[in-house]
Amino acid sequence: MKWKDSLLLLMGIGLSNVGAWIFLIALNLIVLNESGSALAVGILYVLKPLAALFTNAWAGSLIDRLNKRRLMVFLDVFRAVLVAVLPLISSLPMVYAVVFVINMGSAVFYPASMTYMTKLIPRKKRQRFNALRSLMDSGAFIVGPAIAGMLFIVGTPETAIFLNGAALLLSGVVTLFLPDVEGGAFEGVKKLSLDMIKEDLRVVRRFSLRRIYVMVVYFLFSCMIVLTAAVDSLEAAFSKEVLDLSNSTYGYLVSIAGAGYLAGAVVNTVIADKVRDVKLIAFGSVMVSAGYIVYSVSEGFLAAAIGFSLLSFSLAFAQTGFDTFIQERIPVGMMGRVSSVYGWLEGFLVIAATVLIGAGAQLVSIREVVMAGSLVMLTVTVFLMVYSLSRSKVNPVETTSIESGWKLN
């Protein structure tokens, strides 16, 4: 792999992530201005996991049979066109429909890009690349909202939406300059059938039963992500109603989280070659949940800021470790199917957990529900740490060496 390939891939990821933040903030404002309802904005956050439910059951069957680079370019251009159409739509239900389709495209893009990265990046360089990707994500977390804010000063939310479409289009152009690691058309799908999907689900099931250690770690980490999403759904309400923070102070709190993630990503990049992926997952995940515990018991801005800093700082390590872990232990020839199936399960759990924690906040109190969710997360991550470290001396399996045992059907 040439250094320019790594740089181009990071550039494409960065463009897409910055555009995603601009899109999220601008779309929230557009929907709020159109409807005047916080509930209408809240529906936007349900559409993403809902799109994953509708997509991930069959997406892996396509991803593992199509040329990943071409698929990524198509999805970037496809989403760019839909994003550019959004400001022209006046009907709120139609806006939801288009956003839903955009999220379906994103649900396919993530496992496709993960598979492509695994093929492109040599094994010894994956963890450092994932650390750099985490650094790129943290930069987008800070730069994206800042750009959106400047655009709102000189323009409108619609202008920001168009900019996101341009960013996606540019990301697709950058991807075109990356090498075709599959050498052409790969295996093409003549017809996506129910029998094909059922067989692929059986393949994932057989693989999961044969690689129990790998898939239990995968599932437990996904449970942590589900719980973070559920607790985060009450973040604004907790900050404003429980901690009694103003809008500007809450904005500072979010900025501190971004700075914490950036700091974690920088440190993570420095130690990427010195710490194994399993240890990054184990200790990073526990510290994420510890940050949520601190946040849940906080009585004011300072304690909440410490909790936010800790959880965001630690998340950079946990995510890098997890990405490297699955890249080295899941055959690249079926990574799309495995990621999609478990992504479907994660989407279902996100919706269920968000509804449950939202109902709990109505029945009990916001603080008690946030504390309960944080304690459950701590329990899950402690178990994840103990279980993953118990097998930490097991040598990772190179994807290419076991791919021959899991051929496409």
The per-residue pLDDT for range 18-31, each reduced to its tens digit, is 778 778 778 877 88
Residue 183: its pLDDT value, please? 66
Residue 403: its pLDDT value, please? 42
Tell which residue, 242, 223, 363, has the closest CA to residue 304: 242
> What CATH number does the domain located at 1-129+141-179 have?
1.20.1250.20
The answer to whether residue 369 scores a pLDDT higher than 60 is: yes
The 10s digit of each residue's pLDDT in 313-359 is 999 899 999 988 998 899 988 888 898 888 888 888 988 888 888 88
Neighbouring CB atoms inside 10 A of 94's CB total 12
pLDDT band at 81 (very low <50, low <70, confident <90, very high): very high
Residue 26 main-chain phi, psi, to 5 deg:
-65, -40
pTM score: 0.82
Asked whether the domain spanning 200-409 has the same topology as the one spanning 1-129+141-179, the reply is yes
The 10s digit of each residue's pLDDT in 239-296 is 878 888 876 777 778 778 878 888 888 888 888 778 888 999 999 999 999 999 999 9
pLDDT band at 402 (very low <50, low <70, confident <90, very high): very low
Q: What percent of the chain has pLDDT over 70?
A: 88
Q: Is 40 exposed, middle or buried (0-12, 13-18, 19+ CB in 10 A)?
A: middle
The answer to whether residue 396 scores a pLDDT higher than 70 is: no
Neighbouring CB atoms inside 10 A of 131's CB total 27
Residue 235: its pLDDT value, please? 81
Mean pLDDT within 358-384: 91
Tell how far CA 118 is from the center of its chain. 17
Query: What is the domain partition of the chain in residue ranges?
Result: 1-129+141-179, 200-409
The DSSP result for 302-333, as a single string, is HHHHHHHHHHHHHHHHHHHHHHHHHHHHS-GG
Mean pLDDT within 294-308: 91
CB contact set of 258 (below 8 Å; sequence gap of 6+):
138, 141, 142, 145, 312
**376 and 226 Cβ atoms separated by less than 8 Å:** no
Q: Rounded to whole angstroms, how far apart are CA atoms 370 and 307? A: 13
User: Comparing 362 with 21, which gets the higher pLDDT?
Assistant: 362
Q: Rounded to whole angstroms, how far apart are CA atoms 154 and 119? A: 42
Place of tokens 């990707």: 133
Tell which residue, 330, 328, 338, has the closest CA to residue 61: 338
Q: Rounded to whole angstroms, how far apart are CA atoms 232 and 354? A: 9
pLDDT band at 404 (very low <50, low <70, confident <90, very high): very low
Q: Identity (one letter) of the amino acid at 242?
A: V
Q: Which CATH architecture has domain 200-409?
A: Up-down Bundle (1.20)
The answer to whether residue 4 scores a pLDDT higher than 90 is: no
Instruction: Give the pair of three-digit tokens for residue 226.
Output: 């589900």
Q: Rounded to whole angstroms, how far apart are CA atoms 258 and 396? A: 32
**66 and 189 Cβ atoms separated by less than 8 Å:** yes
Output b/e per residue, 236-265; b: 16+ Cβ within 10 A.
eebbeebbebeeeebeebbbbbbbbbbebb
Q: Which helix (H) or strand (E) holds 343?
A: helix 335-363
Residue 188 main-chain phi, psi, to 5 deg:
40, 150
